[in-house]
Amino acid sequence: MSIEFTPYSSGDVDALAHFLTGSHWPFHAGTQDAETVRQRAGSGLYWNDESRTFWVLADGERAGLVRLQDLADDTPMFDLRIRADRRGKGLGTAAVAWLTSYLFTEFPHVTRIEATTRQDNHAMRATLRRSGYAKEAHYREAWPAPGGGTPHDSVGYAVLRRDWISGTVTLPDWHDEPATRSS
């Protein structure tokens, strides 16, 4: 399978609206309707100084979408969506490898890249670990549930530029709390 990443353009608004509303995104908060997507695209949300969006093409077909966010910061984040019928085929891993390289290569001020996902999104968590991202945070009941249900836990991952360059993963010190005295 050939995988390519092509920039979103203003002529892609209808395709973007169809892509975002035509699939089920079980691990993304909130829902979007086509008109909201069109309005956001019209306001420049998908390509501006702070954000860039790319199609993930698998054998020439739009199979996914990568949106890079907070590009003026030294710690950007991203949104990755792979169509349901294309999940589990390595596109997510290819996309995270590509976007990591793209961000560190094209943006010299970027020192780290962050990703946050739901705790139960095991595929994305495995993709992040395979891609050199280290778990750095666990947020209890921080991810909204559809329909006002019990919020999900979310987890935060990041890759440091120096780790990406060296091919290593530096883990946080999870045992840095001072000892407490019992009364």
* Amino acid 14: pLDDT: 92
**What is the block-wise mean pLDDT of the chain (183 residues), using blocks of 10 residues?**
93 91 75 84 91 96 96 96 91 97 98 96 96 96 83 96 96 87 65
Task: Indicate the domain borders of the chain.
Answer: 3-166
Has this prediction a pTM greater than 0.85?
yes
Could you give the CA distance from residue 47 to residue 41 in angstroms, rounded to a whole number?
Answer: 8
Could you give the CA distance from residue 171 to residue 183 in angstroms, rounded to a whole number?
Answer: 33
CATH number of 3-166: 3.40.630.30
User: Rounded to the nearest 5 degrees, what angle is found at the Cα of 171, between the Cα atoms of 167 and 175?
Assistant: 165
* Amino acid 176: pLDDT: 87
